[in-house]
Amino acid sequence: MRILVTGAAGFIGFHLSKRLLERGDRVVGVDNMNAYYDVRLKEARVELLRPSPAFELVRADLADRDAMEKLFASGRFDAIVNLAAQAGVRYSVQNPYTYVESNVVGFLNVLEGARRHGTGHLVFASTSSVYGLGTDLPYKESADTDHPISLYAATKKSNEVMAHSYAHLFGIPTTGLRFFTVYGPWGRPDMALFTFTRGILEGTAIPVFNEGRMVRDFTYIDDIVEGVVRVIDRPAPYRIFNIGNHQRVELMDYIHAFEVALGKKAKLELLPMQPGDVRATEADTTALHEATGFTPATPVEEGVRRFVKWYREYYKV
């Protein structure tokens, strides 16, 4: 298939593009290569994709309407996977306009491209953050998502309802995926696992929010990619799936996994809860399994070990 992957130089976009190329698809990747974090990491990811003659990178911003129209006019896509977005809950508190431009305006341009040019299955990334302060764990896709507590979550909720309207009006087969705390090699440097690894290696205190009383459903990148690939191949009129490891992991246990992988004890800086954060997440993945036969299952200890191995090799530490 000829597949459009937006955010192809990003964490999940890179891994997905690599997997699609390996199975024989043609990938047109789009990325604006912005400086939210070190562009050299994005360039390094792209360099690993370039050797494939089936990969093409288009440097463009999803919010650039003319550039997106030109992209969609270049030829029909058999599927679209929209992963490009301004990520991060805490960053959205200080930089709201960036989120609306990237996550709302940019996604509208993707929807319009799909409508005008007759593309195939549209798969897009949402987030567990849409569940807000919900306490009925594990989260089911049918749970209330009308009360997001961060602008990031609000923009992702808007993607879900925008996609629903386009699927209904124009018959675009559409699937939204609520990712749960994705981690692994080639991740974003602003993610906690980078902070933890760097701090433990350097012997500096690592920030631990809500004094460590946090629970997350940490999902390894390979499981995310497997779920996305299986969904791409199974179009439907409109649906939403959770993709998570369906496990509650205490933050302190997650930190302990890094201590074991690094062979060194962490120094902790216990801090209060940050605005927009939630205390606990856990995915119910029953619907994903019923539709695709797949359930993420990589243990946190194994995922952290793989990340630490990559970190040491990439940063030469």
Catalytic residues: 152
Contact between 28 and 13 under an 8 Å Cβ cutoff? The reply is no
Contact between 273 and 210 under an 8 Å Cβ cutoff? The reply is yes
**What distance in Å separates the CA atoms of residue 291 and residue 293, rounded to the nearest whole number?**
6
Bridge partners of residue 59, in order along the sequence: 31
Contact between 225 and 54 under an 8 Å Cβ cutoff? The reply is no
**What distance in Å separates the CA atoms of residue 220 and residue 307, rounded to the nearest whole number?**
10
Closest CA to 82 of 31, 130, 131: 31
**Strand, coil or helix: 173:** coil
**What distance in Å separates the CA atoms of residue 191 and residue 16, rounded to the nearest whole number?**
19
